[in-house]
Amino acid sequence: MALILDGKAVAAAYKAKIKAKVDALAAQNITCGLAILLVGNDAASRIYADRLVKLATGLGVQAVVRHLPADATEEEVLALVCELNEDDHIHGILPMMPLPPHLATDRVAAALAPDKDVDALHPLNAGLVATGKSRWAPCTPRAVMAILDYYQIDVSGKHAVVIGRSNVVGKPLAHLLLGQNATVTVCHSKTRDLAALTRQADVIVAAVGRPALIGPDMVRPGAVVIDVGINEVNGAVVGDVDYDAVFPIAGAITPVPGGVGAVTTVMVVEAALRSFGDL
Ligand code: NAP
């Protein structure tokens, strides 16, 4: 029976620290501002953006969604990024991904002011994370590390197998785990015999977007299983791990929902506060 790694408990600990920071800023008449840049009508992005606004506002951070239509031109998007970069009331900018296909994600990322770049999308921030020079990695990898830290799971010397190599989850997470002295294997869609690799893992992180990709035959008894995936199956939200089947084998496991996602949203608010120093 696995220890359930409760994202809500981790989030609560961070929320308390964020609130203390926000209150200290308020005493100096400073309000932190977060801008969420939403282009188009992707329903999941809209729901996520609204959830972020509710969370941030509840913590005393002024959050706004800046919405552009799905057919907004690159010039219009870059102009809005520029406006937010220059707005002294905005301390963090989060462009919701994916952007509509006619927009170049790289150019939008490169237009962000690096010190307001909540999800470390700017190449400078991605490079600093890759070279171990910045702890401000994208919010989801930081959420994974926050869960490990909260439950005092030391990864030093352990074999961590990360499944997924996106720039916003898998790759930066691999760098953060390396920074904590894990031995890291990064898997992806072209990996041969994924199960042979995951069975060697002390820590498995699944960040793919495929329900039940990780089954019980792929998990070494006692392994720590972190499920980043978010999938909808028959109206229910599930991760990439076959939770019920893996639960009796794993040493510890994150649920979906209530695992990594619950911490990621809090990491967004924390990142908006980064220009005011650590929590
Ligand atoms: P992504 O950009 O689509 O990347 C998916 C990765 O999975 C790619 O590297 C892909 O390999 C790999 N992959 C696909 N099929 C595979 C297979 N059969 N075996 C092994 N690897 C495979 O997605 P993402 O943005 O990283 O997000 C991953 C998942 O996490 C999604 O479900 C997303 O909704 C979720 N997510 C959750 C949170 C949270 O807070 N919980 C935050 C962000 C994302 P290739 O590189 O070879 O294509």
Question: How many domains does one find in the chain?
Answer: 2
Confidence of residue 278 (pLDDT cuts 50, 70, 90): confident
Is residue 2 in a domain?
A: no
Q: Which atom of ligand 1 is least distant from the CA of 239?
A: 32
Q: Which amino acid is at 167?
A: N
Give, to the nearest 10 degrees, the angle between helix 260-272 and helix 43-58.
60
Count of Cβ atoms closer than 10 Å to residue 275 Cβ: 11
Is residue 196 in a domain?
A: yes
Annotated binding residues: 164-166, 230
* CB 207 less than 6 A from any atom of ligand 1: yes
Cβ distance 278 to 247 under 8 Å? no
CATH code, 34 = 3.40.50.10860
* CB 228 less than 6 A from any atom of ligand 1: yes
Residues 151 and 220 reside in one and the same domain: yes
101 contact partners, CB below 8 Å, separation of at least 6 = none
Residues 83 and 178 reside in one and the same domain: no
Residues 256 and 147 reside in one and the same domain: yes
CATH code, 256 = 3.40.50.720
Q: Whose CA is nearest to atom 14 of ligand 1?
A: 189
Q: Whose CA is nearest to atom 13 of ligand 1?
A: 189
* CB 45 less than 6 A from any atom of ligand 1: no
pLDDT at 112: 98
Q: Look up tokens 């962000």; give the residue.
A: 112
Q: Look up tokens 């639960």; give the residue.
A: 247
Domain carrying residue 104: 29-114
Q: Is 258 left (phi over 0), alpha (psi -120 to 50) or beta?
A: left
pLDDT at 1: 81
Residues 85 and 155 reside in one and the same domain: no
To test the ligand 1 pocket, which listed residue (45, 169, 191, 198) has its Cβ within 8 A of the most ligand atoms?
169
Is residue 121 in a domain?
A: no
Is residue 145 in a domain?
A: yes
Q: What is the pLDDT of residues 53-112, one digit of tens each?
A: 999 999 999 999 999 999 999 999 999 999 999 999 999 999 999 999 999 999 999 999
Q: Whose CA is nearest to atom 24 of ligand 1?
A: 166
Average pLDDT of the segment spanning 213-239:
97
Residues 149 and 254 reside in one and the same domain: yes
240 contact partners, CB below 8 Å, separation of at least 6 = 163, 206, 207, 208, 209, 210, 211, 212, 213, 214, 227, 228, 229, 231
189 CA distance to ligand 1 middle (Å)? 9
Is residue 128 in a domain?
A: no
pLDDT at 162: 99
pTM above threshold 0.75: yes
Confidence of residue 157 (pLDDT cuts 50, 70, 90): very high
